[in-house]
Amino acid sequence: MIKTTLLIIDDSTEFVEDLKLLLGDKYEVLTASTGAGGLELLKNNNVSVLLLDLQLPDVHGLEILERIHNEMDPFLPVIIVTEFDEIDFVVKAMRLGAQDFLSKDFHIDLMKEKIDKALAQKKLHIRISGLQGNTGLIDDTFVFASDKMKKINYEISRLANLNVDVLLSGETGAGKDMAASQIFLRSKRADKPFISVPIRTLSETLLESELFGHEKGAFTGAEKMKLGKFESANQGTVYIPEISNLQESVQLKLLHFLQYKSITRVGQDMRKGEINLDVRVIMATNENLEDLVKKGRLREDFFYRISGVRLDIPPLRERKEDIIPLTEYFISKFPGHFGNTKYFLGKDAEEALINYEWKGNVRELSNAVKNALTYASGPELSPGDFPFIYGRSDKSPAAHGKPGGEFLSSYKDYENKYRKYYFESLLRHCGGKVSDACRIAGLTPQGFRKILKQLGINY
């Protein structure tokens, strides 16, 4: 078992030796008799907590505290230990970020209690720092009815109880994010952090820093030390949804982490040693990784490492039994945005949805339901409320060049409804710019505005 590293900066040899004897069974104890010596130890070792004397021979302890939190590690818990009656200095130390303080005539159990409390606070501060913004967790109902997804559901529960890294594969929108969230929520790590890393939005340098953190001065703009997602998610889970987009240098560093569960921050002095972590990694891809290996975009050793435990999420068109339960779930989920009407799916609409190809999978279905609820003329959703879907479904009249069925009330109603839909959609596409919309529609601005007025469309 790896011991937590404790650093004592104090010039009293007798006091330091007593502490080493009392704390050595629980902690790895490092000592320094000067402020400069203590800072050097901090640079070269992964120290978890610091006991700091204020009266040092070379520099005052307050200056050491300020330098540590401003230049080295803003999360390092510091406990002030002094034998002098220096309440003013102690107050200043607390304002500068000291975790706690003790006089040198303390009881050892009280000391251990304060150290444990300081370490717990450090973990909390790290998590708060890492969890700022959207974590990417989908805490939502997992809806399915097909045999294929019943098997996926079983595998999710099985994997949740295993402490292994997982690769999810499947088409865009098939449900990989949901599967990742479910694995986390059903696991013993569910009360720990879940952090998603948006790879596409980050450059190679920023991505490496985002994942592994960086030291002050590691690159231009690195004005202070920063913890990466892995450190912030310690004991929890990191989700990387686009694993195929990693550059080779990041693949190598992630490969090392998956192998040894340890990291070095960008710009870290190698004498400091690696930082050991307990983080589960869930990865996802919508690409054929074997092809990427052949093309040289993915390292072969990295591919074999991440493919060890793999779960393939089938596309929606291969599990049609899920389409109607998912649609009904979305209908029940979204109405709050569209008033108090209780919508339901008509039989003709059900057939149209089942026969549609759903290239965008569950995500496309969700958006289709939102769109239908936006323009529905009544509580019953008909095929006409899903115009693009119905027009392209295999069994729709339009797909075979035939006129529509009973869902068409009258030509005038149909025409007015879809004229309005067309012009509202066109305006949204053009960001509300009438000039651009006119050009696409092939109408003059005057004629375009006249139609908008007739249809009651505000612009």
Residue 403 tokens read as: 């006129």
Residue 216 has pLDDT above 50, yes or no: yes
**Between these two residues, 398 and 325, which has the higher pLDDT value?**
325
Structural domains in the chain plus CATH codes? 4-125 (3.40.50.2300), 147-312 (3.40.50.300), 317-455 (1.10.8.60)
Q: Among 116-130, 251-265, 365-379, 435-449, which range has the highest average pLDDT? A: 251-265
Whether the Cβ atoms of residue 140 and residue 118 lie closer than 8 Å to each other: no
Query: Taking the complete model, does pTM exceed 0.75, yes or no?
Result: no
pLDDT at 232: 87
Alpha helices in 280-410 (DSSP H): 289-294, 300-306, 323-333, 347-354, 361-375, 387-392
Q: Among 71-85, 260-274, 333-347, 417-431, which range has the highest average pLDDT? A: 260-274
Residues 6+ apart with CB under 8 A from 383: 346, 348, 349, 351, 352, 390, 396, 407
pLDDT at 71: 73
Supply the mean pLDDT for the chain.
83
Residue 394 has pLDDT above 50, yes or no: no
pLDDT band at 410 (very low <50, low <70, confident <90, very high): low
Region 255-277 average pLDDT: 89
Q: How far is CA 157 from CA 38, 212, 214, in A?
A: 48, 29, 36
Alpha helices in 334-406 (DSSP H): 347-354, 361-375, 387-392
pLDDT at 155: 95
pLDDT at 442: 79
| CA 56-61-67 angle, 5° bins | 130
pLDDT at 317: 94
pLDDT at 151: 95
pLDDT at 299: 95
Lowest average pLDDT, out of 72-76, 91-95, 107-111, 333-337, goes to 333-337
Residues 6+ apart with CB under 8 A from 263: 212, 213, 228, 230, 231, 253, 256, 257, 274, 275, 277
For residue 16, the one-letter residue type is V
Q: What is the pLDDT of residues 41-92, one digit of tens each?
A: 887 787 889 999 988 999 888 888 888 887 777 778 898 887 765 677 777 8
pLDDT at 407: 44
pLDDT at 91: 78
Residue 145 has pLDDT above 60, yes or no: yes
Quote the CA–CA distance of 17 and 22 in Å, as a whole number. 9
Whether the Cβ atoms of residue 195 and residue 130 lie closer than 8 Å to each other: yes
Alpha helices in 236-316 (DSSP H): 248-260, 289-294, 300-306
Lowest average pLDDT, out of 13-22, 79-88, 235-244, 251-260, goes to 79-88
By residue count, the chain amounts to 459
Residue 237 has pLDDT above 80, yes or no: yes
Residue 397 has pLDDT above 50, yes or no: no
Q: What is the pLDDT of residues 169-206, one digit of tens each?
A: 999 999 999 999 999 999 999 888 899 988 877 777 78
pLDDT at 398: 42
